[in-house]
Amino acid sequence: MRQRLAGLARRDLALARSDRRSYVPGIVAVLVFLATLALVLALTLAGAAGRFQAGLSGTLTVEIPVPAGGQAGEARLARALEVLRQTPGIAAADPLSREHIAGLLEPWLGKFAGLEDLPLPQLIDVRLAPGATVDLAALGARLETAAPGTNVDDHRRWLVSLQRLARLAVGLAVLIVVLVAAAAAAAVAFATRAGLSVHHDAVDLLHLIGAEDRYIARQFAHEALILAFKGGLAGLVAAVAILAAIAFAATRLDAVPLPAFGLTGGDIALVAALPLAAAAIATVTAWRTTMRALARMV
Amino acid sequence: MRQRLAGLARRDLALARSDRRSYVPGIVAVLVFLATLALVLALTLAGAAGRFQAGLSGTLTVEIPVPAGGQAGEARLARALEVLRQTPGIAAADPLSREHIAGLLEPWLGKFAGLEDLPLPQLIDVRLAPGATVDLAALGARLETAAPGTNVDDHRRWLVSLQRLARLAVGLAVLIVVLVAAAAAAAVAFATRAGLSVHHDAVDLLHLIGAEDRYIARQFAHEALILAFKGGLAGLVAAVAILAAIAFAATRLDAVPLPAFGLTGGDIALVAALPLAAAAIATVTAWRTTMRALARMV
Amino acid sequence: MVRFENVGLRYGLGPEVLRDISFELAAGSFHFLTGLSGAGKSSLLSLLYLSRRPSRGLITLLDRDLATIRRTELPALRRRIGVVFQDFRLLDHLSALDNVALPLRVAGAREDQVRAHVIELLTWVGLGDHLHAKPATLSGGQKQRVAIARAVITRPRLLLADEPTGNVDDKIAVRLLHLFEELNRMGTTVIIATHNTGLVARSHHPELRLEGGDLTRHARRGAA
Amino acid sequence: MVRFENVGLRYGLGPEVLRDISFELAAGSFHFLTGLSGAGKSSLLSLLYLSRRPSRGLITLLDRDLATIRRTELPALRRRIGVVFQDFRLLDHLSALDNVALPLRVAGAREDQVRAHVIELLTWVGLGDHLHAKPATLSGGQKQRVAIARAVITRPRLLLADEPTGNVDDKIAVRLLHLFEELNRMGTTVIIATHNTGLVARSHHPELRLEGGDLTRHARRGAA
Ligand SMILES: Nc1ncnc2c1ncn2[C@@H]1O[C@H](COP(=O)(O)OP(=O)(O)OP(=O)(O)O)[C@@H](O)[C@H]1O
Ligand SMILES: Nc1ncnc2c1ncn2[C@@H]1O[C@H](COP(=O)(O)OP(=O)(O)OP(=O)(O)O)[C@@H](O)[C@H]1O
Ligand SMILES: [Mg+2]
Ligand SMILES: [Mg+2]
């Protein structure tokens, strides 16, 4: 075993020395940095969307518009509430206060003096019993007769666009990670070929002495592994530092950094695996590049 | 002269070959790319701010607020207009229509049915005679007696923040360019030191043969010049391509790219000089680094 | 052991460096390869250590026809050949000890056996005090001896030495010749390319002489 | 021309390779430097071509005390010294012609003069057909001759040659010796480190022998 390890770490080729000027760690650091940011943001977004969706999916909102023909608002509200409370599967139906509604509108209307005098629609917050489903078409028809113009919103539009957003973010993150992996592989392949040409004489000597291609490729792969892992670790650390700074800034002073992004243990493991993935890609790429190039030598 | 040129281009050291794996062109490309974007955006912002300022500086806006005590709006407007038209130095004073004002407010209030019924302030657009100055304090006092609550806005707040924004943008651009220059110099110095160690034997031989430090440094400087210029050019081309795409997208199909950013000939020369500047920095850095390192050798 | 049949070699579009060379060496034989500078001695050796293929002709080596050999078989074949290169080809960043140990390690030898063996051989060639010296800190003759030690450490079946005494004094040259003869006695076929006429004259081994691309054989003192 | 006074040299913390060496060589003299492999011949030469400073003692060279010389004066001094390195030190990516032209170009010679001069010298050492060959495509002896041509192209005041005939046959060795003697006749001081006892024996030049770090002088055939 010790024997085997010594074999793996063998460095007949002065790769390490010549690779002090290697661009591999730098490039891998930047790539892992980007991949980490992309992945964390996508996972955060997906997580938030999931939680938001869970919160929305058991609720409905009923809107009773501003009276058109002078009909008393309060009466319409009472009738709608009655209909709702009689519908099986609905656990609760609470009208929102006028102040609450004005608060919701404020970002759009601004705080201006005339706001109190403006006629406002009325909103009812409806919670369904857990697991219950409600026939929205039938409910809508009954509400229409009770209070004409009433509008039932099951947040489907929101839910759909949330899901679309989350899927888009995850897709983008996956795309970025794939691109990053491809770029890392390309950089390592390029560096390996350059290394082979720089160390051509030594490689040639090893061949003449009876070394198999594997013996030589192992050294290039080992070097690539170390360089890429170092770079990847640096990139990960930088990304985590930036994210922690963002989380810290976002939650001021009373936050533990990562939970602010709402990552699960699995998410964190995924992100932490990025330098390992980079090292694995680099190792395999260097190995393959070397084996292919050596096969073309005598 | 030919002799001298041959001397400048001499390549006893196989720098070009070993520098196929140099990271200098790549880094310089990225840096010049960033510097170009920063510079163009800053110059555009500064130019736009300048033009906007020129457009604003000959105008005033007089605001007559929503009547408080029921005084007739039309009468107050007429009195204010009279005061303005009697003031020397004022070329024109035109009240804005109610529709115009509603249009200005719409982005904030949204299009809602009650808008027509809302009480709105009245605005007068005032243009000064070219070169004229108006005593704002005196004008304000006279307007106050004519129509109490009237407000004169000389856009100074706007002008000041525009100037501050333009100065900030230019400052940021300068900072970015300086950082970019420092990063380029650091990258070249690092690469040069690596090159010196890779070519140590050849450098040593040149010394023993009687080469002066200058003879050796010239080769490193020449190589750095070429690498940095190539990288810089690539970065500039990439940045211009991106900017052209933005300009194209911004003005749809009927635009000539660069004028859309409103750059002057001088601005364009400044931006086009970035690769030259990068090459100059690289050359000087490589020269100095080599001379300093050689002075430490026997 | 070694058989050339109408072998020719040219570099690129240049003239033939070797032309129409045919000879056969018996297993366990000992030959000098001589010829003027540029005659093609190193080129001929490079055919033997499988660094190059001939432009034409057939080479049989260790009972293998080199024309039909597959790439994957080369390492095993090369491990049975020891080479002293004219320019040494030591790896600069490895110590004398590691340079000499290289063929053993490449062949997967056990580390505990490698060390003792290498130290013994290096001591024998007079480098017991320079085990851990890098090539750059060795004298010319010391480098040459490291190169020789690397070539013989595996007791190869075929030993090819290119000017192995160019940088050492006559006393060491004779000692190294004894080393080669010792190996030869144990069954190794030896070919030594050299300009050292004194060395050739002092020994009784036959001489292969390269001249104008042709090879002629000269026996000496009644040896085969 | 060259004067050593109690010169000692050690590498790092090792033993003294040269110890307490004193001698003086007249301008225009011709000496062989001999000694066993590892005796310190190359080390002594490296002191003379200003690649190293002695651990102790005084060296005077071309009327300059090397202890007091400033860095900026080195190039001019080095241009008056020609060196044949034991391991040649040719630049791999330059042709034979460019390698030999290097000292002239470094000294700022005019390009039109350089070419004809270099071609003439390379032809003289038998490399007229290999002007544009890179070192990797030259034979051992050919590389050595390029190295020698580079050392003498500037007609230096002092010529230091380290084992300049280790890779060439006796005929070329004699020819090269004539080249050195020709230069010597024109005023160049020559020092040749060599193991080639034949070469030393055939000539009448005095011998400086290094042994155990000490230098002794041996005249031959009545010469100085
Ligand atoms: N890789 C190569 N490419 C082109 N020509 C070559 C190459 N190697 C050798 N030559 C040429 O082939 C000829 C024979 O070279 P080789 O090295 O075999 O000679 P040699 O007998 O070993 O000479 P020496 O005694 O000087 O070492 C020389 O003219 C040399 O220039
Ligand atoms: N750079 C160095 N660092 C440490 N030791 C060195 C260095 N160069 C030479 N030596 C040691 O100094 C001693 C003398 O070496 P030197 O090269 O001068 O011998 P030499 O007489 O030229 O031998 P050869 O005839 O084999 O070339 C040797 O033992 C060598 O190992
Ligand atoms: Mg040869
Ligand atoms: Mg020596």
When pLDDT is averaged across residues D69-85 and rounded to a whole number, the result is: 95
pLDDT at position C160: 97
Question: Chain D closest CA to B209's CA: distance in Å?
Answer: 6
The per-residue pLDDT for range A158-205, each reduced to its tens digit, is 777 777 777 887 888 888 888 889 989 998 998 898 888 888 999 999
Residue C98 is given by DSSP the state H
pLDDT at position A175 is: 86
Task: Among the bound ligands, name the one nearest to the CA of residue D146.
Answer: 1
The pLDDT value recorded for residue D129 is 94
Place of tokens 């520098």: B19
Kindly identify which residue of chain C lies nearest to residue D139, measuring between CA atoms: C38
The beta-carbon neighbor of A211 closest among C52, C75, C93 is: C75
CB contact under 8 A, B198 and A18: yes
Centroid of ligand 3 to alpha carbon of C213 (angstroms): 14
pLDDT attached to residue D5: 95
Q: Give DSSP secondary structure letters for chain B.
A: -HHHHHHHT---S-HHHHGGG-SHHHHHHHHHHHHHHHHHHHHHHHHHHHHHHHHHTTEEEEEEPPPSS---HHHHHHHHHHHHHHSTTEEEEEEPPHHHHHHHHHHHH-S-GGGGGS---EEEEEEEPTT----HHHHHHHHHHHSTT-EEE-SHHHHHHHHHHHHHHHHHHHHHHHHHHHHHHHHHHHHHHHHHHHTHHHHHHHHHHT--HHHHHHHHHHHHHHHHHHHHHHHHHHHHHHHHHHHHHHTTTS--TGGGGT--HHHHHHHHTHHHHHHHHHHHHHHHHHHHHHHT--
Is residue B180 a contact partner of residue B32, using CB atoms and an 8 Å limit? Answer: yes
Residue that has been written with the tokens 């006559």 in this structure? C170
Question: pLDDT digits over A106-132, tens only?
Answer: 555 545 545 555 566 777 888 888 777
Residue D135 DSSP SS3: helix
Burial per residue of B238-254, b for 16 or more beta-carbon CB atoms within 10 angstroms, e otherwise: bbbeebbebbeeeeeee
Q: Does C103 touch chain A (CB under 8 A)?
A: yes
End-to-end CA gap in chain C: 15
Angle between helices C140-152 and C96-106 (to 10 degrees): 20
D163 neighbourhood in chain C, CB within 8 Å? 140, 166-167
Rounded distance from Cα D140 to ligand 3 centre (Å): 5
pLDDT, residue C223, reads 43
Q: Is residue C137 part of a domain?
A: yes
pLDDT band at D222 (very low <50, low <70, confident <90, very high): very low
Query: How close does chain D come to C3, measured CA to CA in Å?
Result: 24
Look at chain D and report how many structural domains it folds into: 1
The answer to whether the beta carbons of residues C194 and C34 sit under 8 Å apart is yes
User: Which is nearest to D177 in space by CA: D204, D153, D154, D156?
Assistant: D204
Pairing relationship of beta strands D158-162 and D189-193 according to DSSP bridges:
parallel
The more confident residue out of B233 and A297 is: B233
Question: Nearest chain B Cα to D114, which residue?
Answer: B3
- pLDDT digits 0-9 by tens, A17-34: 555 567 788 889 988 998
Residue D40 forms part of a structural domain: no
Residue type for position A33: F
Query: What is d(CA A201, CA A198) in angstroms, rounded to the nearest whole number?
Result: 8
- Say what percent of chain D tops pLDDT 90: 81
Across the interface, of A21, A194, A195, the residue whose CB is closest to B194 is A21
Render pLDDT for C172-218 as a digit per residue (tens, 0 to 9). 899 999 999 999 999 999 999 998 888 898 889 999 999 999 999 99
Instruction: Name the percent of chain A lying above pLDDT 90.
Output: 23
Region D160-182: mean pLDDT is: 91
Q: Decide if B287 contacts B217 (C-beta within 8 A).
A: yes
Q: What ligand has the least distance to the C-alpha of D211? A: 2
D66 domain residue, yes or no: no
Q: What rounded mean pLDDT belongs to chain A? A: 79
Tokens found for residue A162: 């949330």
List all residues whose CB is within 6 A of at least one atom of ligand 2.
Answer: C 130, 133, 137-142, 167; D 11, 17, 35, 37-43, 86
Report the mean per-residue pLDDT for chain D: 93
Q: Do D103 and B210 touch (CB under 8 A)?
A: yes
pLDDT score of B84: 85
> Which of helix, strand or coil describes residue C162?
strand
Q: What is the DSSP string of D26-63?
A: -TT-EEEEEE-TTSSHHHHHHHHTTSS--SEEEEEETT
Strand A90-95, strand A122-128: pairing: antiparallel
User: What's the confidence (pLDDT) of residue B97?
Assistant: 77
CB D7 within 8 A of CB D56: yes
Q: Which residues of chain B, if any, have pLDDT below 50?
A: 1-4, 6, 70, 110, 113, 253-259
Mean pLDDT is lowest, of A46-60, A200-214, D136-150, for: A46-60
- pLDDT number for residue A72: 57
Element housing D158 (H / E): strand D158-162
Q: Which residues of C194-210 are buried (b: 16+ CB within 10 A; e: fewer)?
A: bbbebbbeebebbbbbb
Average pLDDT estimate for D128-156: 95
Chains touching chain D through at least 3 C-beta pairs below 8 angstroms are B, C
Higher pLDDT: D59 or B22? It is: D59
**Which CA distances in Å does C85 have to C26, D75, D140?**
23, 35, 10
> Within a domain: residue C116?
yes
pLDDT of residue A229: 94
Domain ranges of chain B: 2-53+159-297, 66-149
Nearest to C139 among D42, D137, D166 (CB): D42
Rounded Cα–Cα distance for residues D42 and D162 (Å): 7
Contact B118 A114 (CB under 8 A): yes
Write down the pLDDT at residue B9: 60
> Tokens 């000089």 — which residue?
B273
End-to-end CA distance of chain B: 32
Q: Which residue, judged by its Cα, is nearest atom 5 of ligand 1?
A: D137
**What was the pLDDT predicted at A218?**
93
Q: Which residues on neighbouring strands pair with residue D34, listed in sequence order?
A: D209
Determine the structural domain holding residue D115 and report its residue range: 95-155
Using an 8 Å CB-CB cutoff, list chain A residues near C135. none
Could you give the CA distance from residue B41 to residue B36 in angstroms, rounded to a whole number? Answer: 8
The residues, any chain, with a CB within 8 Å of residue B174's CB and separated by 6 or more, are: B42
Residue A117: per-residue pLDDT: 57
Task: Please report whether residue D63 resides in a domain.
Answer: no
- For ligand 2, the distance from its centroid to the CA atom of residue D210, given in whole angstroms, is 12
